[in-house]
């Protein structure tokens, strides 16, 4: 039997849940479907073996100044820990560089990245094929020319950590559009007790408790005056409007069949926007009495070229120029390290067991801390976002050859057009068009629909509220249309 509602929301991540709250505030109670056995989407805070919360998804507020998440955290007394200065271990077997040396490296990389933003802002002729990596490395070489005591290989490796910002190799990130994201001021900060309390505060218990879990959507038919949402194991749902908030990776994989098919323009945008991979790897050292790593909230191991090919280390080092570790012992006393792993290395680790991952990190860290008696963690826990069929990656970026206009295309509502060669038409719901109001509509939200804050949780939040407002206007006009017929 089909279940009916005025609105169905597909996906119970930040966008879907906050849209649900906004709709309830307007007197509209949606049905919220979630494929997983939990709410949150890419916000995944789970109890760890010590009973304390652990983030395997979103964990950091990027740019705390002027960020709604910062205000939300303050309202519930959630503790934020700024990610301060980074300690660099430039080569295996050597101690961490001095504070002064680490500061110079960080400043050189930051200056190189800031310089490319200035170059892009002052030039109207950046080749659409240009990438961030080439520009950053060119600026780093220029910095070494001015300060010959700087080590270019160390700087190049340190710049590899920029891949964490995009969940992608910086060689795949568009230089032309590097400044599209709005940068908030303030330190990036970890939410120490986990991101889940922020999600709960933003969405409210009523919405969260109403979510129908383990409802896997396989097909959406929006050809008629209502939308039919087909699930794999819980029947069909009928609605006047459907809000689609599934991650871009799911849309790229075409795991949901749309009838009629999405328009060529929308499909092009889905294919063209980059969707990267970043996995958090939690390394548990609770079997140790004290840490063997530096007493700071984060450190990074670097691999200059001559190290990577050194037979003494080649078989034990993880294949990334930079590997960042967040030190939870410094943050809250827990003997945990959390490694940030991106791209192909993350995919490689996802093909392994947690036990194998623990061994790999143990060998890697032994190269940098040879005097430590035990570098293998007693357990490792991996986020595994690539192999998750309900995410298929982590977050979006503008790839080389991409276009920021794609975010607007992905955010625009749509409806079917009978007899048209264009199977989907867009309707921004700005007027009480009788033709538009009589049709069922698909609406779209998620971080991949936000130009200036794509890839961020606050961007997903804003998109959910924007889509809820569009739905409210649409339903009002649809009701008005029905009354006047």
Binding residues for FAD: 34-35, 217
CB 326 within 8 A of CB 86: no
What is d(CA 374, CA 41) in angstroms, rounded to the nearest whole number? 35
The per-type count for the chain, helices as H runs and strands as E runs, is 17, 22
What's the chain's Rg over C-alpha atoms? 24
Binding residues for substrate: 177, 340
pLDDT digits (tens, 9 = 90+) for 262-296: 999 999 999 999 999 999 999 999 999 999 999 99
CB 455 within 8 A of CB 447: yes
Residue 378 has what pLDDT?
Answer: 97
CB 211 within 8 A of CB 32: yes
pLDDT digits (tens, 9 = 90+) for 203-225: 999 999 999 999 999 999 999 88
Give the residue-averaged pLDDT of 132-145.
Answer: 98
% of the chain exceeding 70 in pLDDT: 95
Q: Which domains does the chain have, with CATH numbers?
A: 3-44+192-275+393-484 (3.50.50.60), 85-186+280-382 (3.90.660.10)
Q: Please report where in the chains the tokens 């509509």 appear, as a residue.
A: 441
Residue 453 has what pLDDT?
Answer: 96
Please state the pTM of the whole predicted model. 0.95
User: Does residue 82 surpass a pLDDT of 60?
Assistant: yes
What is d(CA 283, CA 450) in angstroms, rounded to the nearest whole number? 33
Question: What confidence category does residue 426 fall into, taking pLDDT thresholds of 50, 70 and 90?
Answer: low
Question: What confidence category does residue 3 fall into, taking pLDDT thresholds of 50, 70 and 90?
Answer: confident
Residue 435 has what pLDDT?
Answer: 44
Lookup: tokens for 21: 């709250």
Residue 428 has what pLDDT?
Answer: 47
Mean pLDDT of the chain, nearest integer: 93
**Cβ neighbours, 10 Å, residue 259:** 13
Question: What confidence category does residue 386 fall into, taking pLDDT thresholds of 50, 70 and 90?
Answer: very high
Lookup: tokens for 203: 């969405």
Residue 124 has what pLDDT?
Answer: 76
Binding residues: 34-35, 177, 217, 340
Residue 460 has what pLDDT?
Answer: 98
% of the chain exceeding 90 in pLDDT: 84
Q: Which residue has the higher pLDDT, 193 or 12?
A: 12
Give the residue-averaged pLDDT of 91-101.
Answer: 94
């Amino acid at each position: 039997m089909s279940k009916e509602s005025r609105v169905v929301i597909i996906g119970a991540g930040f966008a879907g849940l906050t849209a649900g709250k906004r709709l309830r505030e307007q007197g509209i109670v949606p049905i919220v479907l979630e494929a997983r056995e939990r709410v949150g989407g890419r916000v995944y805070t789970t109890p760890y073996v010590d009973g304390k919360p652990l983030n395997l998804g979103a964990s950091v507020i990027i740019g705390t100044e002027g960020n709604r998440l910062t205000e939300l955290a303050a309202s519930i007394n959630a503790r934020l820990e700024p990610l301060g200065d980074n300690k660099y271990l430039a080569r295996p077997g050597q101690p961490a560089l001095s504070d002064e040396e680490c500061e110079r490296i960080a400043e050189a990389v930051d200056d190189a990245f800031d310089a490319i933003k200035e170059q892009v802002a002052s030039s109207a002729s950046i080749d659409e094929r240009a990438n961030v990596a080439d520009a950053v490395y060119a600026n780093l070489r220029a910095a070494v020319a001015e300060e010959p005591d700087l080590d270019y290989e160390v700087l190049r490796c340190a710049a590899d950590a920029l891949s964490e910002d995009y969940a992608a190799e910086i060689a795949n990130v568009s230089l032309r559009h590097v400044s599209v994201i709005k940068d908030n001021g303030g330190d990036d900060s970890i939410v120490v007790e986990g991101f889940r309390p922020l999600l709960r505060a933003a969405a409210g218990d009523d919405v969260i408790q109403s979510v129908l879990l383990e409802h896997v959507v396989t097909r959406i038919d929006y050809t008629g005056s209502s939308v039919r949402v087909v699930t794999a194991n819980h029947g069909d749902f009928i609605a006047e409007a459907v809000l689609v908030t599934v991650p871009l990776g799911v849309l790229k994989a075409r795991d949901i069949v749309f009838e009629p098919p999405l328009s060529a323009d929308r499909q092009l945008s889905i294919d063209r926007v980059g969707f990267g991979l970043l996995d958090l790897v939690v390394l548990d050292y609770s079997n140790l009495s004290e840490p063997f790593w530096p007493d700071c909230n984060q450190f990074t191991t670097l691999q200059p070229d001559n190290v990577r090919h050194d037979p003494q280390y080649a078989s034990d080092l993880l294949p990334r120029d930079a590997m960042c570790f967040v030190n939870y012992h410094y943050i809250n006393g827990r003997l945990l390290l959390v490694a940030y792993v991106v791209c192909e290395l993350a995919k490689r680790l996802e093909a392994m067991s947690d036990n194998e991952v623990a061994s790999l990190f143990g060998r890697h860290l032994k190269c940098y801390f040879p005097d430590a008696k035990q570098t293998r963690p007693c357990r490792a826990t991996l986020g595994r976002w690539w192999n998750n069929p309900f995410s298929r990656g982590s977050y979006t970026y503008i790839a080389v050859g991409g276009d920021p206009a794609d975010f607007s295309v992905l955010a625009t509502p749509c409806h079917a057009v009978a007899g048209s060669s264009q199977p989907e038409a867009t309707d921004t719901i700005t007027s009480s068009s009788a033709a538009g109001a009589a049709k069922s509509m698909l609406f779209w939200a998620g971080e991949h629909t936000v130009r200036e804050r794509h890839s961020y949780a606050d961007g997903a939040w804003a998109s959910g509220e924007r889509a809820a407002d569009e739905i409210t206007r649409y339903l009002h006009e649809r009701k008005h249309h029905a009354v006047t017929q």
